[in-house]
Amino acid sequence: MVTDVSKDKTEVGNYFISNYPPFSFWNRESLPSITEAFETPSTSVEPMGLYLHIPFCRKRCKFCYFRVYTDVQAKAIQDYVDTLAHEVAMIAEKPAVQGREFRFVYFGGGTPSFLSERQLLGLVDKLRTSIRWDNADEVTFECEPGTLSQPKLEAIKEIGVTRLSLGVENFDDAVLEENGRAHKSKEIFRAWDWIQETGFKQINIDLIAGMIGETTENWEACIKRTIDLSPDSVTIYQLELPYNTRYSKSLTVLGQEIDVAPWSLKRQWLNYAYDELLANGYEISSAYTLRKKSTNQVKFLYRDNLWHGSDLLCAGVASFGHLSGVHYQNIDGLEEYQAAVAENRLPLNRALVVSPEESLIRQMILQMKLGRLDAGYFRSKFGREIFTDFRQPFEDLVSRELARIDGDKFTLTREGFLRVDSLLPAFFKPEHQGNRYT
Ligand code: SF4
């Protein structure tokens, strides 16, 4: 179920909406559709990207709901990296992929920077025997501060990374410790100097509003420290409690009380961050990301392409992709994933054919997170009038002063930005409302 933020209390459930239709509707029966999509030469004019999943972390954060592995030996990591390269080689040979270039690449996780320089350079050498991303407009790499070193950053730069995203989350050691983060503030500052020395086209800092133990005073200090570091962009998520996190299990299974900030307080903290960043030369790029105004080159192409319907091929255990109108996810158990690839099978686990109506809704709700919609885009791409066809939910947003509509332009107000994910299910098809999201 998508979390009802009007209740204010942070309950177990999903707030963040990353895709549509909900993952809980993806199924094994639809697997032949993704197999067929891979085997059919693509006529798509959409850009294509590649997501590479590195599922290892030093420690499991207590709020984490991703498929990650900790305490893994170097040999097992090398086996995984080899499997990943093998999977990409299989993908590259598929008719749907041949002759197309990757416009954007994303190393996500888990913790991609958990890989050693040797593992990383070895992986990329192997990948380069089947694919290239020399012409990619953006290559993003997620980092955990405590896994970085100067030589590793050099290796990350050498493989063509243009956008480095640093998972700071908070600057206070007690908050980091309480939430199970592997790093401390000292490692953030140490890594930051190395990152500056190495030099990347774009550097993003990730923060989370509402980590357990957060206070207004500490949050304000976090934002000031972030501004002092002066990254190209700052991404801020509000802490949620999806199923399968340690915190959610403490609440639901063990019946323990956890002092989680209510949604109204998290919005207040996010609002403060917006104000401070806007006053210090940043502008809003989406409900989560503020970017520096000055350079005008600060983009996030992975996000923008995905939210405009691009194809995204994925590789790695439990990773998510989209090809020729079909959503898909890889097998989500490490051994089973590796066994499938060893047998030269694409490790597909579940899929969903996205209808034109669902594709329109998907792009509309995802682009709404940018804070703006252009009805003309949907008119020319889908032949639909979104403000007429979705009159009720749009009118509701305007009457609640969460958005404005002026001609073809829809814009979120500040209040709309702060709670945007909670506004999106109203645009879902009826059968997708009120169901579990993941
Ligand atoms: S570092 Fe990221 S992926 Fe790893 S456990 Fe923490 S939240 Fe999850």
Residues linked to residue 284 through DSSP beta bridges, in sequence order: 290
Q: What tens digit of pLDDT does each residue of 351-360 get?
A: 999 999 999 9
Order of strands, sheet of 289-292, starting from the edge strand that comes earlier in the sequence? 282-284, 289-292, 233-238, 202-209, 163-169, 138-143, 102-109, 48-54, 311-315, 320-323, 326-330, 348-353
pLDDT reading at 436 higher than 80: no
Same domain, 216 and 119: yes
Arithmetic mean of pLDDT over the chain = 94
What pLDDT was estimated at residue 253? 72
Same domain, 51 and 189: yes
Same domain, 224 and 362: no
Order of strands, sheet of 403-406, starting from the edge strand that comes earlier in the sequence? 372-374, 409-412, 403-406
CATH number at residue 415: 1.10.10.920
3-state DSSP helix/strand/coil % of the chain, to nearest 5: 45, 20, 35
On whether residue 331 sits in a domain, the answer given is: no
Q: With a 6 A CB cut-off, is 184 part of the ligand 1 pocket?
A: no
Q: What tens digit of pLDDT does each residue of 203-217 get?
A: 999 999 999 999 999
For residues 65 and 50, give the distance between their C-alpha atoms in angstroms, rounded to a whole number: 22
Question: 230 CA to middle of ligand 1, Å?
Answer: 24
**pLDDT range class, residue 4, cuts 50, 70, 90:** low
Looking at 267, 283, 305, which one is the last position of a domain? 305
Q: With a 6 A CB cut-off, is 169 part of the ligand 1 pocket?
A: no
Q: With a 6 A CB cut-off, is 354 part of the ligand 1 pocket?
A: no
Question: 278 CA to middle of ligand 1, Å?
Answer: 28
Q: With a 6 A CB cut-off, is 248 part of the ligand 1 pocket?
A: no
Amino acid identity at 376:
G
For residues 362 and 369, give the distance between their C-alpha atoms in angstroms, rounded to a whole number: 11
Residue 15 per-residue DSSP state:
-
Residue 353 per-residue DSSP state:
E
Q: With a 6 A CB cut-off, is 112 part of the ligand 1 pocket?
A: no
**pLDDT range class, residue 273, cuts 50, 70, 90:** very high
On whether residue 175 sits in a domain, the answer given is: yes
Q: With a 6 A CB cut-off, is 86 part of the ligand 1 pocket?
A: no
Same domain, 155 and 43: yes
Q: Which of 104, 84, 239 is nearest to 162 (CA)?
A: 104
CATH number at residue 93: 3.20.20.70
Same domain, 297 and 409: no
On whether residue 330 sits in a domain, the answer given is: no
Kindly calculate the radius of gyration of the chain based on its CA atoms and give it in whole angstroms: 21
Q: What tens digit of pLDDT does each residue of 47-104 get?
A: 899 999 999 999 999 999 888 999 999 999 999 999 999 999 999 999 999 989 999 9
Q: How many domains does the chain have?
A: 2
Q: With a 6 A CB cut-off, is 142 part of the ligand 1 pocket?
A: no
Same domain, 184 and 76: yes
Amino acid identity at 9:
K
Helix 263-279, helix 216-229: angle, nearest 10: 30
State what percent of residues in the chain have pLDDT above 70.
98
For residues 1 and 181, give the distance between their C-alpha atoms in angstroms, rounded to a whole number: 27
End-to-end CA distance of the chain: 8
**pLDDT range class, residue 1, cuts 50, 70, 90:** low
Amino acid identity at 413:
T
Token digits of residue 27: 């199924």
The H or E element containing residue 83 is helix 74-92
Q: With a 6 A CB cut-off, is 187 part of the ligand 1 pocket?
A: no
**Could you tell me if residue 344 is left (phi over 0), alpha (psi between -120 and 50 degrees) or otherwise beta?**
left
Residue nearest to atom 7 of ligand 1 (CA): 64
Same domain, 169 and 276: yes
Q: With a 6 A CB cut-off, is 68 part of the ligand 1 pocket?
A: yes
Same domain, 60 and 182: yes
Q: With a 6 A CB cut-off, is 166 part of the ligand 1 pocket?
A: no
Q: With a 6 A CB cut-off, is 66 part of the ligand 1 pocket?
A: yes
**pLDDT range class, residue 2, cuts 50, 70, 90:** low
Same domain, 293 and 391: no
Same domain, 297 and 361: no
Of 16, 59, 61, best ligand 1 pocket probe by most atoms within 8 Å of the beta carbon = 61
> What sections of 25-73 are H helices per DSSP?
31-39
Q: Which of 378, 352, 370 is nearest to 289 (CA)?
A: 370
Residues linked to residue 13 through DSSP beta bridges, in sequence order: 241
For residues 216 and 87, give the distance between their C-alpha atoms in angstroms, rounded to a whole number: 46
**pLDDT range class, residue 296, cuts 50, 70, 90:** low
On whether residue 328 sits in a domain, the answer given is: no
Q: Which domain holds residue 422?
A: 356-438
On whether residue 326 sits in a domain, the answer given is: no
Same domain, 270 and 372: no
Residues linked to residue 283 through DSSP beta bridges, in sequence order: 291
* Residues 6+ away with beta carbon under 8 Å from 285: 233, 291, 298, 300, 370
On whether residue 337 sits in a domain, the answer given is: no
Residue 121: phi and psi, rounded to 5, are -65, -35
On whether the CB atoms of residues 146 and 173 are closer than 8 A, the answer is: no
What pLDDT was estimated at residue 258? 81
On whether residue 313 sits in a domain, the answer given is: no
On whether residue 12 sits in a domain, the answer given is: yes
Atom of ligand 1 nearest to the CA of 63: 7
Q: With a 6 A CB cut-off, is 145 part of the ligand 1 pocket?
A: no
Same domain, 98 and 230: yes
Of 54, 56, 57, 176, best ligand 1 pocket probe by most atoms within 8 Å of the beta carbon = 57
